[in-house]
Structure 1
Amino acid sequence: MSDLLCTRIKTDKNTKADIEAKVVDRIANTIVPSGFSVKSLLGGASTLLNAGKTTNFVFEIKDLNINYLNEINAISTRSKVQDRIKAIKEHGGTLIFKNLQRKEFESNLKKIDTAFPVFIAQMLFDFFSCKAAKISDLTSLLSKNRDLWELYGLSYSDYEFKIKNFLQSAALGMIPSKVWDGFTKVHGGYIVVRNDGVVICYHLYNRDEFLSYLYENTKFESASTKRHEYGSVYLSGNKLLFNLNLQIRFIR
């Protein structure tokens, strides 16, 4: 490590750039210091957005008898979150998105679109309802949602545009636990080490290619329910609530 002038293996958790490089721009005849985020697939797929209590989406449960609370929470299958949602529906309950658990992340999402928390909440609900996991597939489901169509009238390409911007923000600047100023923290791009050892660089000069890579190669994933405190019915005041957690991982 000393030969590489490296003092730490990992960057600070609040830092997006993993490596700094000087990029020679032969067209502009300049040398630009640029930060790159490095993702290695050698030991398994990396996360794009890490789970935390900061990424919990809060849903209110309507029309569910409180007497079913313990019965639903007692479900302990491997797919317990999905099975608990199924049980809520079977007992007449409906999950309605309320808000995010942390206002910082909600504020960050609203920078992309004021309705963006609603869109991600619906994608989460579809994911935990076992309809899809891949981001592009979940986006397709958004465009087919009749309730969202009546409210916003957005097409598939509209949702795709917004989701791509969200993925780019998560990759290059936005951290759920902090209010985001909207600025990119990684000005170079992404360096991806594939599982076959090939190194690929997605420079921000090729933004469209980079966005397509993120969009086609990411998925929603279930994180630890105990650690991140989601997936159980709980009472807050006189309301029954249920948290769903957002984590995004690369496929390849």
Structure 2
Amino acid sequence: MISGNKGEWSEIYTLLKLLSDGKLTPGDENINKLKGIFYPIVKILRTESNGSFEYSIHDDIVIISSDKEELLRIPMEEFKIRSLYLFEKIKENKQNTFAVPEIESFMSEIKCISLKADSKTKSDIQIVIHDLRTNQQPTLGFSIKSQIGNPSTLLNPGKPTNFIFKVTGLNYTEDIKYINSIFIKKGEKISRDIKGRINEILKRNGKLEFVKIENQIFGNNLALIDSLLPNILSEIVFDFYASKRSKLIELVEHAQENNPLNFDLSNNHKFYSYKIKKLLTDIALGMTPTKVWTGEYHATGGYLIVKNDGEIVCYHIYNKNEFENYLLNTTKLDTASTSRYEFGDLYIEKDTLYFKLNLQIRFIK
């Protein structure tokens, strides 16, 4: 029996829903469908451990094997019925993982034997569309993000995403011991109080100065996108931990107001939002902290968003402005495990005092 979480079942829902709709609809920056714009779907490509298959859209859904043999035809209406049923099951389920036997039976019938396609690319689904503007039929890869389950991450946390700050102005003995003893309790969980520790550092006339990103590859990836991006991002990360701001758009607007990098804003150039949008787009389309980024986008050309009401909107580099604005408007910074990723403590290294802050970017539900 196949079992998965809401996000994993949302991938199957997306397959069934798109085959029943027969089109992709772009979204605006607020995840609303753009009126009057759509891309007709020619077929959806899926690779399973038992072979590769095409789900071609005609009057029926025609399933074709890798050697171009027609395996079966199923009315589009059947996919609509199954997608609606699966959506309700995903919405109502309270368990971390669950099975949907009725859908599993239908999946087997249409040669879909797993929740995730067996793909070597970063895309969750590959779709051939008919581009009405160019009269071409490109194959587009998408990552699927579901709003039905828990918010997914855009940039996963890890030690490589730690930002290192040099701390000056503190008493090495008394101040360090006291500040490192500041914890916060949330329910049964006790963790480092990062905001409390930063406030205490500043209260004791300490200063934090960004030095570098812990992982050299991640630091260079950011510098490749924009040479000042490590510094800009360090200001935003610090602001997140030191204030009540968490939405990325609010943090970027605050950076624009304060202009910590002293850009020439006399003509109202949006330096901060422009550079952060470039970062978000590159992360969304392939950049990871520990692999050298070349700037080449992989098969994933955008996102499909499964909304809470079951509708699906797409964002693609075809619609660059909408894609960038969507990423900026729907993400926030979040605090990862301080113990697991080893940040939030004052520590001495070669007679210099340091403090690490971690970067995690998550979608807002």
Q: TM-score, normalised by structure 1?
A: 0.91
The equivalent of 1:62 in structure 2 is 168
- Evaluate the alpha carbon distance shift between residue 11 and residue 132 of structure 1 in structure 2; reply closer, same or farther with a 3 A threshold: farther
Q: Which moved more, 1:3-12 or 1:36-45?
A: 3-12
The equivalent of 1:71 in structure 2 is 178
1:89 CA drift (Å): 1.2
Is the counterpart of residue 99 in structure 1 residue 205 in structure 2? no
Amino acid aligned to 1:205: Y
SS at match of 2:139: strand
Is the counterpart of residue 193 in structure 1 residue 306 in structure 2? yes
Q: 2: distance between equivalents of 1:11 and 1:246? A: 30
Is the counterpart of residue 16 in structure 1 residue 122 in structure 2? yes
1:10 CA drift (Å): 7.4
Q: 1: distance between equivalents of 2:332 and 2:168? A: 29
Is the CA contact (8 Å cut-off) linking 2:277 and 2:328 kept in structure 1? yes
Amino acid aligned to 1:199: I
Is the CA contact (8 Å cut-off) linking 1:37 and 1:186 kept in structure 2? no
Is the CA contact (8 Å cut-off) linking 2:223 and 2:229 kept in structure 1? yes
- Evaluate the alpha carbon distance shift between residue 146 and residue 169 of structure 1 in structure 2; reply closer, same or farther with a 3 A threshold: closer
The equivalent of 2:136 in structure 1 is 30
Is the CA contact (8 Å cut-off) linking 1:105 and 1:176 kept in structure 2? yes
Is the counterpart of residue 153 in structure 1 residue 264 in structure 2? yes
Is the CA contact (8 Å cut-off) linking 1:187 and 1:204 kept in structure 2? no
Matches within 5 A, 1:154-173: 154=265, 155=268, 157-173=270-286
Q: 1: distance between equivalents of 2:350 and 2:146? A: 45
Q: Which has the larger radius of gyration?
A: 2
The equivalent of 1:133 in structure 2 is 246
- Evaluate the alpha carbon distance shift between residue 73 and residue 133 of structure 1 in structure 2; reply closer, same or farther with a 3 A threshold: same
SS at match of 2:296: coil
* Pairs aligned (count): 249
- Structure 1, residues 202-245: CA drift from partner, whole Å, max 9, x if none? 13211111111111111111111011111111111111111100
1:23 CA drift (Å): 2.1
Q: 2: distance between equivalents of 1:122 and 1:39? A: 28
Q: 2: distance between equivalents of 1:124 and 1:98? A: 13
Is the CA contact (8 Å cut-off) linking 1:10 and 1:18 kept in structure 2? yes
Q: 1: distance between equivalents of 2:166 and 2:137? A: 53
Q: 2: distance between equivalents of 1:6 and 1:113? A: 43
RMSD: 2.0
- Evaluate the alpha carbon distance shift between residue 190 and residue 238 of structure 1 in structure 2; reply closer, same or farther with a 3 A threshold: same
SS at match of 2:137: strand
SS at match of 1:31: coil
Is the counterpart of residue 219 in structure 1 residue 332 in structure 2? yes
SS at match of 2:261: helix
Select the residue among 111, 123, 127 that pairs with 2:224.
111
Is the CA contact (8 Å cut-off) linking 1:11 and 1:18 kept in structure 2? no
The equivalent of 1:180 in structure 2 is 293
1:172 CA drift (Å): 0.6
Q: 1: distance between equivalents of 2:121 and 2:360? A: 18
The equivalent of 1:142 in structure 2 is 255
Is the CA contact (8 Å cut-off) linking 1:140 and 1:156 kept in structure 2? no
Identical amino acids, percent of aligned pairs: 40
Q: 1: distance between equivalents of 2:178 and 2:117? A: 44
SS at match of 1:127: helix
Q: 1: distance between equivalents of 2:254 and 2:349? A: 31
